[in-house]
Amino acid sequence: MSEAGTTEQPFPAVVAGDDKRLKKHFGPIGLLFTAVGSIIGSGWLFGALNAAELAGPAAIVSWGIGAVMFVLIGMTYAELGTMFPHSGGVARFPHYSFGSFASFSMGWVTWIAAAAVSPIEVLAVVQYATNYLPWLEKLDADRNAVLTPAGTGISVLLLAVFVLVNFFGVRWFSRINNVLVWWKLAIIALVIVVFLVTAFNTGHFTDYGGFAPYGTHGIFSAVASAGIAFSFFGFRQGVELAGETANPKRNVPLTLIGSVVLTGILYVLLQLAFIGAAPSDAIGKQGWEHVGANFTAGSDVLATFGPLAAISSVLGIGWLATLLYADAIISPGDTGLIYTGVTARISYAMGRNGNAPSGLAKVNSAGVPWVSLILAFVVGCFFFLPFPGWNKLVSFVTNSTVLSFGSGPLVLLAMRSQLPRHTRPFRLGRGFTWAVAFLALFSTNLIIYWTGWDTNWKLFVVIVFGYVLLALHQAFAKKSPKLDFRHGWWVLVWFAGLAVISYLGTYPEASKHAGNLGVLDFSLGAVASLVLTAVVMALALRSALPGERVREILAERREADETPA
């Protein structure tokens, strides 16, 4: 539909999903700090070491690549988030352009990923606290840390605290988070300055195999597997909480793009400082690949307390190590607090869409989706079962979350033809839009490919399970929306294409151990991902709902949002 050939009138200020029961308590700093606080979680405490082990000094480049990719993705959501400022937007946007099947597919993947983040952060807090309270965790026969019964109880209690804070509404949440974010920003800046001033060795960037000892494979593997992509996910809060800010035109783009730029600069500087400050003897033993295993802080292995604190101890900066031990509790705790609320907003959005039980959209007097909050708590407790190697969940969260972001570029392009005259408070340039959308979707596909088959196959199994739940909901729910399968079938092509490319690829490098074939090297895998991006984009735009149907859905949602609870 061209802009000149339509009689469509611009929509009023109240748009789909602008639920009157949700409180507008997030200002520009509050919303930005929610994203920044979500980005700066447990990832920054481990990311510098993990990236260095995969890419060597070139990990600096990896952080830059990750930041650029998420700025591109964030730009697509900046336009959508101001068009439709409401909570749970990542799950709801596909519903408007492609119908219920597409929105369930993306919403399910998004919710599963988000539901695991708060428990992961709780477990990170407990693991570090074990240094002072050894009865919280124990080592199993394979020397994996697992919770003791007492540790499980403490973990459940901590997650309950996250739920309680969120239950009383975003005003309380925002006040607590702002204080914690200032702390986290100060600690990161302090670490960077101290490392650069006291122990910066420029020879580390050229010795021990050179700047990029593991080549391009290592650089791009680090983006997906070292916690770099995981560390940037918090930008999404500008979308998920857009319905709870009074000025989305200003606050949403500021949060989506500003949070990535701000933290990206900090992470690059932190990686630079880490490379220069790492002990030379530890690097010299077996190179960057095993640097974390080759030096100790006192009598404790580096990985036990975290690399930054251990380096501080080795350098004799005990006061900084003490602050980092404390931050190892505060940073993950704050991120867990944020994601508890985000998880509830996603299931709330699915309830509003109608492809999940409507009870999930119930909101209390404080403007909080309380049923969804309780569900997030119950499911979160499942992750406290004594599963060895819980840290591997980070890779699973990475690929599932990135996959959910991939629908944003497609909705952005579809909306340009479906609703050409809809009010767009933030609008990408006409010629710029296609390039940004294509590169954003391409970035999504690449990160999933780089994550590797060993993790990706688990994601595809979970997706299949989600479709089983959808079938049951459609069969037994008293009221469910039309699936619009003919407008969302392209999602299956996308998922299948990602599975095939991942199975044929060389990520992880030990392909025999992971079970994949290792046929596609880095270059061929990138080309295959590029082709898949073009195919999925063409199929999705060809299958999109007609503009008239989109306006009907938006009208239905506005009517529902204006109906008293």
526-553 confidence digits (pLDDT tens): 999 999 999 999 999 999 999 999 998 8
Nearest to 236 by CA among 80, 94, 97, 360: 80
Tell me the backbone φ, ψ of residue 354, rounded to 5 degrees. Answer: 95, 0
For residue 546, which phi and psi values (nearest 5 degrees)?
Answer: -65, 155
- Given pLDDT bands bounded at 50, 70 and 90, which one contains residue 28? low
How confident is the model at residue 298, as a pLDDT?
46
User: For the domain that residue 456 is a member of, what is the CATH number?
Assistant: 1.20.1740.10
Structure tokens at 15: 């748009």
Do the domain assignments include residue 6?
no
524 in a structural domain: yes
22 found inside a domain: no
Q: Is the dihedral of CA 168, 170, 173, 179 positive or negative?
A: negative
Instruction: Please determine, for residue 10, whether its predicted confidence score (pLDDT) is greater than 50.
Output: no
Q: Select the highest-mean-pLDDT range: 86-95, 236-245, 461-470.
A: 461-470
> C-alpha angle with apex 480: 474 to 482, nearest 5 degrees?
90
- Asked if residue 402 lies in contact with residue 229, where contact means CB atoms within 8 angstroms, the answer is yes
Q: Indicate yes or no: pTM above 0.95.
A: no
At 99-125, the pLDDT tens digits run 989 988 998 898 888 888 888 888 878
Which residues, in sequence order, are CB contacts of 12 under 8 Å at separation 6+?
Answer: none
C-alpha pair distances (Å), 196 with each of 161, 191, 260: 38, 8, 23
| 3 in a structural domain | no
Q: Comparing 272 with 292, which gets the higher pLDDT?
A: 272
Distance CA 453, CA 504 (A): 9
Q: What is the pLDDT of residue 382?
A: 84
| Residue 12 forms part of a structural domain | no
The three-state (H, E, C) secondary structure of 456-525, written as one string: HHHHHHHHHHHHHHHHHHHHHCCCCCCCCHHHHCHHHHHHHHHHHHHHHECCCCCHHHHCCCCCECHHHH
Q: Cβ atoms within 10 A of the Cβ of 130, count?
A: 18
More confident residue, 299 or 330: 330
SS3 call for 40: coil
Helix axes 100-129, 393-405, angle to 10 degrees: 150
- Least confidently predicted of 60-64, 348-352, 441-445: 348-352
Radius of gyration of the chain (CA): 23
Distance CA 46, CA 48 (A): 6
pLDDT value for 3: 37
Inter-residue contact 185 to 40 (CB < 8 Å): yes
Query: Which among 245, 168, 221, 178 has a CA at the least distance from the CA of 38?
Result: 178
The pLDDT of residue 16 is 35
Tell me, what's the pLDDT at 403? 92
In a domain, 17, yes or no: no
Structure confidence at residue 465 (pLDDT):
94
Alpha-carbon distance of 101 to 120, in angstroms, equals: 29
Q: Is residue 355 part of a domain?
A: yes
φ, ψ (nearest 5 deg) of residue 312: -60, -40
Q: Is residue 42 part of a domain?
A: yes
Average pLDDT, the chain: 82
Of residues 344 and 500, more confidently modeled: 500
SS (H, E, C) 379-407: HHHHCCCCCCCHHHHHHHHHHHHHHHHCH
Number of compact structural domains in the chain: 1
Could you tell me the residue range of the domain that residue 232 belongs to?
28-562
